[in-house]
Chains A and B, each alone.
Chain A
Amino acid sequence: MDLLTCHEQMLTIRRFEEAVERLFREGRIGGTAHTCIGQEAVAVGTAAALQPQDAVTSTHRGHGHFLARGAEPGRLMAELFGRATGYLRGRGGSQMMMDASIGFYGANGITGGSIPFAVGLALDAKLRGTKRVALCFFGDGAASQGVFHETLNLAALWKLPVVFLCENNGYAMSTTASRSLAHPHVADRATVYGIASAQTDGNDLLAVRQTVADALDHARCGHGPFLLECRTYRLSGHSRGDPREYRARDEETAAWQREPIARFEAYLLAQKLATDADLTARHAAAKARIEQAIQFAEESPLPDAASVAQGVFA
């Protein structure tokens, strides 16, 4: 993925998530959703480093991971609208999306739920000798699940090709990472299992892309799992309608100064990789793409309710 495509992807995700928040406020979509505003560089930097055969698992906050991996915004939006054209024909909703054909093995509504699943993908890759690496996104909150520790041990023991990517956005719902983690660095958990690890600035697209590429290489070459911690900030509320009473507006304002898109644009301009006009055009294109996605979703038919009980078994 070249740098301008990365920029375009980050914008697509940002506009998509802003639209999701607006659509909830307007009552045009229901249920719930978790948006990833401020975390776009993690999703896109990672996707830029992945190879086509690689597998990704995601979390409840998965729209960005999915879009970066190549999801069509229209079909993703249609899933949020509960339409037949959605990725899972309305059966999944925001927290449960999957498209194995592009190596996206699912958002997951259970915090930490996809961590052992990713190791299963890696085990399959090892047993069948594919050159696939499984990359597992999880949050700072999910790091407190027991299954995370069990899975690290298993993956290390069996030297599986898996990259655990902790997206440390500072919060698990209202709980700051400092109130849920006894030790501040999730990456340090690697030490006791003899796993390689690194930490990086998750708001720096180039740093994420490089670190993930290194981690994938490590796993692909048979050196076993890699634990990577990307530090970022969840500018969004936790989920729809979160009043964010647990943090100060000043903290958010300061975090906005570090948000990844403007930062990457400054880099592109400074390096003369893009002009102001290029960026403006891309902003307009991203906006249009999301408007189209909404239109596609809204014009799509509802899923067939009569067959709702079908498809439980093959």
Chain B
Amino acid sequence: MRTVTYTQILRETLADALRRDPRVFLMGEDIGTYGGAFGVTRGLLQEFGPERVRDTPISEPAFVGAAIGAAAAGSRPVVEIMFMDFIALAADQLINMAAKLRYVYGVSCPLVVRTPIGGGRGYGATHSQSLERLFTGVPGLQIVAPATVSDASALLQTALAGADPVIFLEHKLLYPLREELPEGLPPALPFGRARVVCEGRRATIVAWSGMVPQAERAAELLAAEGIQAEVLDLRTLVPLDTETLVASARKTGRVLVVEEGPRTGGFAAEVACRIFEAAHDSLDAPIRRLAAPDCPLPAARNLEAACLPNAESIATEVRALVR
């Protein structure tokens, strides 16, 4: 066994793919010598050289678009967008090209776009957003959001071996996460299988990415009060594991969906609706949502903290839900 961080396992998984598959290459801003803004690709330039670990100019639409073309031609590009906020610049290429290639053109596009999301570091309104909602409604894009160290590798391996575009979300607060794991990489995991983080009968808490550890902590707080909450980690938003969601909702009859981004138009609404459609007759209370308020995320620490859901606010919601 060994202790390994989220950052480190991502790096090892990328290195493994680069070693095994000559079609794989990495591309992004400052991913070479600098190792990426969060250090994920540190050291990879030294091992694989500048052709396969390519620093790009600050030209998101150009290099994302180029990655899509390279993928369509048979390469396996892994692109890093330094902060998910900047994916807005490349949104056209992802939405109007990558997402359309298989269905319309009949062409495979094995592209992985890795990108950090989320707040909690005081980076301000254009470096803290969780913009997965912009892409979950675009058929053709898979949205992956691992919340643990082993899932980070397991899901990245699946993304790297896949045939269709993946937007791979890495919450900034998860990078330092540690886990005890055996040597080597954990086995790959298919998309579309939610993880039952902990079991409980009184309520279901659904979360993904950075909200999973918060939900887990909330469940601990609640357990201490005798409220057994079940925590589900979506792992992938697209495809969505409706089956596991519905099974849990039927069991507990009470559901809270937690989302870091603003409330309106969030993916939590989709989750809630899927559950309601299939399990409304088993629900003992209206489904609740906990999300950030509908405002940009401010920079000041106390303002940012006031916006983001956390273990305490999740526990408060669950208490109200089971009352």
Interface set of A (CB-CB < 8 Å, partner B): 30-32, 82-83, 86, 89-96, 108-113, 141-142, 144-146, 172-175, 179-181, 245-246, 302-303, 305-306, 308-312
Whether B299 contacts A31 by the Cβ 8 Å rule is: yes
* B29 contacts across to A, CB distance below 8 A: 172-173, 175
CB interface residues, B 8-32, toward A, < 8 Å: 29-30, 32
Q: Given contacts A110-B85, A175-B29, A312-B295, is CB(A82)–CB(B57) below 8 Å?
A: no
Grouping DSSP codes into helix (H, G, I), strand (E, B) and loop, the A interface class, with mixed when no group exceeds half, is loop
A242, closest chain B residue (CB): B34
* A245 contacts across to B, CB distance below 8 A: 33-34
Whether A308 contacts B30 by the Cβ 8 Å rule is: no
* A92 contacts across to B, CB distance below 8 A: 124-125, 298-299
Whether B61 contacts A146 by the Cβ 8 Å rule is: yes
CB interface residues, B 45-75, toward A, < 8 Å: 55, 57-62
Whether B86 contacts A110 by the Cβ 8 Å rule is: yes
* A141 contacts across to B, CB distance below 8 A: 57-58
B31, closest chain A residue (CB): A174
Which of B58, B301, B303 touches A91 (beta carbons < 8 Å)? B303
Whether A142 contacts B58 by the Cβ 8 Å rule is: yes
* A111 contacts across to B, CB distance below 8 A: 58, 86
Q: Does B293 contact A (CB under 8 A)?
A: yes
Report the contact-size class of chain B (Cβ under 8 Å from the partner): 35 or more
Whether A312 contacts B294 by the Cβ 8 Å rule is: yes
Whether A83 contacts B295 by the Cβ 8 Å rule is: no
Q: How far is the CB of A93 from chain B (nearest CB, A)?
A: 3
Which of A110, A181, A303 touches B300 (beta carbons < 8 Å)? A303
In the bound assembly, the distance between CA atoms of A141 and B34 in angstroms comes to 15
Instruction: Other than A30-B122, A303-B298, give 8 A-B pairs with Cβ distance below 8 A.
Output: A31-B124, A90-B303, A91-B296, A93-B298, A173-B37, A179-B55, A305-B302, A309-B293
Q: Given contacts A173-B30, A246-B34, A308-B293, is CB(A82)–CB(B123) below 8 Å?
A: no
In the bound assembly, the distance between CA atoms of A86 and B126 in angstroms comes to 18
Whether B123 contacts A112 by the Cβ 8 Å rule is: no
* A32 contacts across to B, CB distance below 8 A: 121-123, 127
